[in-house]
């Protein structure tokens, strides 16, 4: 990694310099996993603020952007955000989808509907849906199959609770989540998957995982992928970190070997912070 470049990116106010950093990063990452950074807006924003946030993010990313940047607004604002980011490198994602194709499922949103309004990504298995809404491993597996089978790309979230970590079960929990989610997923579909390691105790708490712990979890995730598929596939899948990422904590996390970017909640609601994280991910991942 190059600490000076990352620090410059995190200052995030000199756009010309940011452009030079991005161009350099674009050259550096050739042949490596392309960084991914997603902004999960959760149940935040209103119509006007969603549009202006999307505009600001689109304006802050140039054509030569060397990372996949995806925003995940609430369902009602997908179409307006699609319009706001049109022509920019920013892609549109949804925060959830139904495991069913269509029909009598009041309140649900299908993969086809998401594609219809311009979404190309969807989050599956977010811990807030696992733990606050009660989604089962089986439902998450159905949703992942539905997303990939419908031409969407998916961010699968996995991670342990504080109690599971304290009991020394973190790796078993993550391995079980991966086994269940990927049981019916062919290797060919894995090009369209990003895995987000999101320790539940770090989400929205202001506590970021220690870089060493994040690195260990990322290694475990890749070994689970190697066991399910093979080592070559495991080394090609992008694995990102999520949990209270802010510009101040990003530098050390993005420098960890095997961390390919981030899924960002709170900090994705401020364009300046999110853009600083996007640039830091690009530079940090490229140079690490
Ligand atoms: C998330 O919701 O995926 C997340 C990582 O949230 P936060 O960054 O706010 O912890």
pLDDT (tens digit, 9 = 90+) per residue, 24-38? 343 334 348 999 999
Residues 287, 254: Cα–Cα separation, whole Å = 9
Quote the ligand 1 centre to 38 CA distance (angstroms): 10
Helices marked H in the chain — which ranges? 3-11, 15-28, 47-60, 78-85, 111-116, 127, 137-149, 162-166, 170-182, 211-228, 231-236, 247-254, 271-287
Choose between 98 and 17: higher pLDDT.
Answer: 98
The atom number, within ligand 1, closest to the CA of 38 reads: 3
The atom number, within ligand 1, closest to the CA of 42 reads: 2
Structural domains for the chain: 3-100+107-287 (3.20.20.70)
The model carries a pTM of 0.89
Residue 85 has pLDDT above 50, yes or no: yes
pLDDT digits (tens, 9 = 90+) for 149-180: 999 999 999 999 999 999 999 999 999 999 99
Quote the ligand 1 centre to 128 CA distance (angstroms): 10
């Amino acid at each position: 990694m190059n600490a000076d470049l990352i620090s410059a990116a995190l200052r995030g106010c000199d756009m010309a310099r940011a452009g030079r950093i991005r161009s350099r990063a674009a050259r550096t990452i050739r042949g490596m996993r392309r960084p991914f950074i997603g902004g999960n807006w959760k149940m935040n924003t209103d119509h006007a603020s969603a549009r202006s946030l999307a505009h600001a993010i689109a304006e802050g990313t140039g054509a030569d952007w060397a990372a996949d940047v995806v925003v995940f607004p609430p369902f009602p604002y997908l179409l307006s955000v699609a319009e706001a980011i049109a022509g920019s490198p920013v892609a549109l994602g949804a925060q959830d989808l139904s495991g069913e194709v269509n029909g009598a499922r009041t309140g649900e949103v299908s993969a086809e509907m998401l594609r219809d309004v311009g979404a190309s990504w969807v989050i599956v298995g977010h811990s807030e849906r696992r733990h606050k809404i009660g989604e089962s491993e089986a439902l998450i597996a159905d949703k992942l199959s539905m997303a990939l089978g419908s031409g969407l790309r998916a961010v699968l979230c996995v991670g342990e609770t504080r109690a599971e970590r304290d009991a020394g079960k973190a790796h078993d929990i993550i391995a079980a989540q991966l086994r269940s989610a990927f049981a019916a997923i062919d290797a060919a579909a894995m090009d369209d998957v990003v895995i987000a390691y999101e320790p539940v105790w770090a989400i929205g708490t202001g506590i970021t995982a220690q870089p060493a712990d994040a690195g260990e979890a990322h290694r475990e995730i890749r070994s689970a992928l190697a066991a399910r598929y093979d080592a070559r596939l495991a080394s090609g899948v992008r694995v990102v970190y999520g949990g209270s990422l802010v510009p101040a904590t990003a530098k050390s996390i993005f420098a960890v070997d095997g961390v390919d970017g981030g899924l960002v909640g709170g900090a994705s609601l401020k364009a300046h912070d999110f853009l600083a994280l996007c640039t830091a991910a690009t530079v940090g991942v490229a140079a690490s």
